[in-house]
Amino acid sequence: INILGDRVALIDTTATTLNSSSGGSDGGSISLTAQSDINTANLFTVSQGGSARNINITSLNGGVDTTNGSVESTSFFGNGVSLNISAFGDINIARMVTGSRKGDGGNITINSQNGAVNSTSDLGLSSLFGN
């Protein structure tokens, strides 16, 4: 799922869940890029048979708010990957999880150029049998 471009001013997906999951193969990536604010509810890329994929959220001149849901990239047999949030302004996040039952856990990167980073819930990296 890709929503990006120089002309995308604002992204608001708080009324829906963006789900790029797969039962038997790799999950799909989710990439959101906007000039101004990005507000989301649930963002999921999950794989039961392969690896999950990255979730990237980039606000070039505004902030990011994911407090209306959860941001998750998980896999049962493959690897969890990266959850990346970057913004010029404030970043407000709720639950973020990347992990795998049998593979490696993954990474969470949060970067604000000119604002605060606030979390209202857990940030989780997990792997039962991997790194």
Q: What is the pLDDT of residue 26?
A: 77
Helix, strand, coil percent values for the chain (each to nearest 5): 0, 50, 50
> What is the value of pTM for the model shown?
0.87
Low-confidence ranges of the chain (pLDDT < 70): 1-8, 80, 125-131
Residue pair 69/93 in contact (Cβ under 8 Å)? The answer is no
Q: How many Å apart are CA 35 and CA 75, to the nearest integer?
A: 31
Q: What is the pLDDT of residue 21?
A: 80
Q: What is the pLDDT of residue 68?
A: 94
Q: What is the pLDDT of residue 5?
A: 62
